[in-house]
Amino acid sequence: MHLGTKIYTLLRGKLVGKDSFGNCYFESRKADKEGARKRWVAYKGLAEPSKVPPEWHGWLHYTFNAPLEGKYNWQKDFLPNLTGTDLAYMPPAVKGGTRDKATGDYEAWKP
């Protein structure tokens, strides 16, 4: 977090909660003219927006008045964006494997 954000958070922020990644979520103590309160997140480690779980994403964007509690049994565990890491999805053919043979409905184009 930048120095300016730290000072702003100390002076005007109220901690609302933390997520499983250690990110802290804040809300301004005073409402603006329309009655809305500013909301922001202080990331733990690298500032990576994909590390914000869905329940907090909805709260940050004023979709929910409070972060969602719990989750449904059909929901998968949240994963941040893995692009550029060893855990990113790569099709088998790209990893050095071989691609499945095309089915009979494919004809190669011949100029």
pTM: 0.67
Provide CB contacts within 8 A for 1, sequence distance 6+: 9, 42, 43, 47
Look at residue 41 in the predicted model and tell me its pLDDT.
94
Kindly list the domain boundaries of the chain, sorted by start residue: 1-99
For 49-108, how does the pLDDT look when each residue is reduced to its tens digit (9 = 90+)?
888 888 899 899 998 888 877 677 887 777 778 888 888 888 877 777 676 776 666 777
Exposed, middle or buried: residue 51 (CB in 10 Å: 0-12, 13-18, 19+)?
buried
What string of DSSP letters covers 11-63?
A: HHEEEEEE-TT--EEEEESS--TTS---EEEE-SSS--GGGS-HHHHHHHTTS
